[in-house]
Amino acid sequence: MEDELQIAMAELDEEKTLRLVNERIQAGHSAVDIIESCRRGVEIVGEKYSDSDYFLSDLIMSEEILKEVMRILEPHIPVKGTNNRFLPIVMGTIEGDIHDLGKNIIIYLLRSSGLEVIDLGVDVTPEKFVQAVSESKAAILGISVLLSFCVGSIKKVVDLLTDAGLRDQVKVVVGGYPVNQEVKEYTGADFYANDVTEALKIYRDILGIGGGPVSGC
C-alpha cells in the first residue's frame, strides 16, 4: 500500500504534506511513524537528485519541509527530564559530510526520551569522535553518513578507538543512506540503521530500556 504522506514529501508538495501530518496527528499516529514516512520521502528526493531528476534547490526544499514537520510534531512528543542513570550518547556526522537531518531527528527523539546526547555536529574528524568518547565515557557512539566516499573515515574512528583502548567500552552505531551490512563489517561498527524506527530500537536495546520512556524505567 502506497504511503500518501511519503509520496507528498517526495513530490515536494508542502501544503499536502503538512495537511497529512496534521490529519495523522488527529488520527493518533505516533510522531515517530509520521517522521519516518517523511524521512522516506526525503530519501526519494535524494535519489532523484542523484539521478539528476531534481536540483539542489529541490533537495534543500525537502529538508525545509521536514523541518516544518518537526515543528508541528514537537508539541506532540513528550519531553522527559534527563535520566543520569545512563551514560551519554555521542553523535555526529563523519568528516567530509555536512548532512545532518537524519542525525538531528534521532537526537531530538533520544533527548525527548530523557537520554543525554552530545551532538558534535557535522564534518567531525575521527580524532574528535574519539576525544568525545574518552571525555564523556559514552556508552554509544552514533556516526551519521550520507556520502558513500566518507565511509572510510568511519573505519578510522573505530581503529582509533581500538588504539586508544576505548573500543570495548562503547558500541558504535552507523546510520545513513549508504549504510548496510557490508559497510558495518568494513568499518568494524557494532550496528547499522537506515531509518528512524530501527535506529531508536538499536539505541534502546543497547541501553536495555525497551520501548517506553526512559524516566519510567
If asked whether residues 28 and 127 sit together in one domain, one would say no
Of 76, 99, 114, the last residue of a domain is 76
* Residue 210, pLDDT score: 59
In this predicted structure, the answer to whether residue 200 has a pLDDT above a threshold of 90 is: no
Grid cell locating 24: 495523522
Report the Cα 93 to chain-centroid distance in Å. 10
If asked whether residues 61 and 126 sit together in one domain, one would say no
If asked whether residues 53 and 125 sit together in one domain, one would say no
| CB contact set of 124 (below 8 Å; sequence gap of 6+) | 92, 93, 94, 95
Of 23, 53, 76, the last residue of a domain is 76
| CB contact set of 176 (below 8 Å; sequence gap of 6+) | 99, 102, 144, 145, 146, 194
* Residue 80, pLDDT score: 56
* Residue 216, pLDDT score: 31
What CATH number does residue 198 fall under? 3.40.50.280
Beta strands in 18-149 (DSSP E): 89-93, 117-119, 140-144
Q: What is the mean pLDDT of the chain?
A: 88
Of 76, 102, 132, the last residue of a domain is 76
User: How many structural domains compose the chain?
Assistant: 2
Report the Cα 67 to chain-centroid distance in Å. 14
pTM here? Answer: 0.74
How much is the average pLDDT of 70-76?
86
User: Mean pLDDT highest for which of 52-56, 143-147, 158-162?
Assistant: 158-162
How much is the average pLDDT of 97-115?
84
Q: Is there a domain that residue 197 lies in?
A: yes
High-pLDDT (> 90) share of the chain, %: 55
How much is the average pLDDT of 1-23?
93
If asked whether residues 122 and 201 sit together in one domain, one would say yes
If asked whether residues 9 and 36 sit together in one domain, one would say yes
In this predicted structure, the answer to whether residue 192 has a pLDDT above a threshold of 50 is: yes
Q: Is there a domain that residue 82 lies in?
A: no
**Coil, helix or strand at residue 172:** strand
* Distance between CA atoms of residues 68 and 73, nearest Å: 9
Q: How deeply is 151 buried, as exposed, middle or buried, from its count of CB atoms within 10 A (0-12, 13-18, 19+)?
A: buried
β-bridge partners, 174: 143, 192
Count of Cβ atoms closer than 10 Å to residue 56 Cβ: 8
Grid cell locating 32: 515517530
If asked whether residues 156 and 202 sit together in one domain, one would say yes
In this predicted structure, the answer to whether residue 22 has a pLDDT above a threshold of 50 is: yes
User: Mean pLDDT highest for which of 65-69, 93-97, 156-160, 174-178?
Assistant: 156-160
Question: Distance between terminal CA atoms of the chain?
Answer: 36
If asked whether residues 98 and 71 sit together in one domain, one would say no
If asked whether residues 114 and 145 sit together in one domain, one would say yes
- Could you tell me the pLDDT band of residue 79, with boundaries at 50, 70 and 90? low
* Residue 91, pLDDT score: 98
* Residue 81, pLDDT score: 53
The residue segments making up the domain with residue 16 are: 4-76
If asked whether residues 104 and 125 sit together in one domain, one would say yes
The C-alpha cell 588504539 sits at: 163
Give yes or no for a contact between 93 and 144, defined as CB atoms under 8 angstroms apart. Answer: yes
What CATH number does residue 60 fall under? 1.10.1240.10
If asked whether residues 100 and 181 sit together in one domain, one would say yes
The per-type count for the chain, helices as H runs and strands as E runs, is 9, 5
How much is the average pLDDT of 192-210?
87
Strands of 117-119's sheet, edge to edge?
A: 117-119, 89-93, 140-144, 171-175, 191-193
If asked whether residues 71 and 110 sit together in one domain, one would say no
Half-sphere exposure of 187 (CA within 13 A, CB side): 34
* Distance between CA atoms of residues 126 and 107, nearest Å: 20
